Amino acid sequence: MDEFLHQVLSGVASGGIYASVALALVMIFQATHHVNFAQGEMAMFSTFIALALIEAGVPYWGAFAITVLLSLILGAAIQRVLLTPMAGSPVLASVGVFIGLLLIFNSIAGWLFGYTLKPFPTPFEGPPVLGGFVTRHDLGSTAVTLAVLGGVYGFFRFTNLGLAMRAAAYNPVSSRLMGIRVGRMLALGWGLAAAIGAIAGMMVAPVVFLDPNMMSGVLLYAFAGALLGGISNPLGAVFGGFAIGVIENLAGAYLVGPELKLTLALAIIVAVLTVRPAGLFGRTVVSRV
């Protein structure tokens, strides 16, 4: 029973990472109807920036804040420079850009920082807590993740800027007629997604170690989580991310072993999507004409 609890809690911790990245994916998907395949690599690159800052002597939380800010700017700049000219182009052209970005970030990171696994510090040091079931890092990173998710939820739900970003995603034409600067909203959305990804990267790196391919697995799980919960619903995607984390951990420990745990997670997703194509919480918007 103790072991089971340990597996669940550990699954929640990694699920929080997937949930963050899933949320980043959903934010960009809602605005552009594209999945940003480079989301994970952008997060990995941000994590390298954080490591460089920490190695240069910046205290952890200072490096954390600078990295989040730089990622926000970088994400917004990518949208403005690379994706604004792509507006109205065919889907495959955008997919090409995303895959290009993925490869570019991956190889630049390798070129700048090398391909060897690097340890990444955690600000949550100390002996395990909650009766020894949970590492301090798992607890701390889950708290950070929940704070990020709560903050993002509040931002979109309660601020006018967040509302305008949602409007720009749902209906850019109508939003422009209300004076909303849709281009800026898209750039801000990319910036926020990149910042959320950066936090996820910094939280997962102490567990999996940092290298240019650190996020490829995480991105897959996050994508799976987003699809499971419903890629049209941020809350659903977040739930999906957590669910995938727990399923993955339990399956790895008890059912199929670590080799097949991703396969099992994906099998569950396929099953869910067969019954509910919009995902568990995917919204079908009702509209009368």
DSSP reduced 3-state for 35: coil
CB 233 within 8 Å of CB 284: no
Query: Residue 142 and residue 88: Cα distance in Å, rounded?
Result: 39
For the CB of residue 27, give the shortest distance to other proteins in the complex, in Å: 15
Q: Which of 42, 164, 246, 262 binds other proteins (CB under 8 A)?
A: 164
Give the nearer residue to other proteins in terms of CB position, either 183 or 217: 183
Query: Residue 60 and residue 176: Cα distance in Å, rounded?
Result: 41
For the CB of residue 243, give the shortest distance to other proteins in the complex, in Å: 24
Q: How many residues of this chain interact with other proteins, rule: CB under 8 A?
A: 23
Report the candidate in 75, 65, 146, 68 with the shortest Cα–Cα distance to residue 105: 75
C-alpha torsion 33→37→39→41, nearest 10: -170
Give the nearer residue to other proteins in terms of CB position, either 127 or 179: 179
| Alpha carbon distances (Å) from 89 to 132, 180, 181 | 54, 23, 20
The token duo for 226 is 């987003």
Give the nearer residue to other proteins in terms of CB position, either 57 or 88: 88
For the CB of residue 171, give the shortest distance to other proteins in the complex, in Å: 5
The token duo for 107 is 């190889």
Using CB under 8 A, which residues numbered 170 to 229 contact other proteins? 170-171, 173-182
Q: Where does this chain touch other proteins (CB under 8 A) — which range of 77-85, 128-136, 206-214, 281-289?
A: 281-289
Give the nearer residue to other proteins in terms of CB position, either 109 or 152: 152
Q: Which of 143, 163, 266, 278 binds other proteins (CB under 8 A)?
A: 163
Work out whether 287 is an interface residue with other proteins (CB under 8 A): yes
DSSP reduced 3-state for 261: helix
Residues that bind other proteins (CB under 8 A): 160, 163-164, 166-167, 170-171, 173-182, 283, 285-289
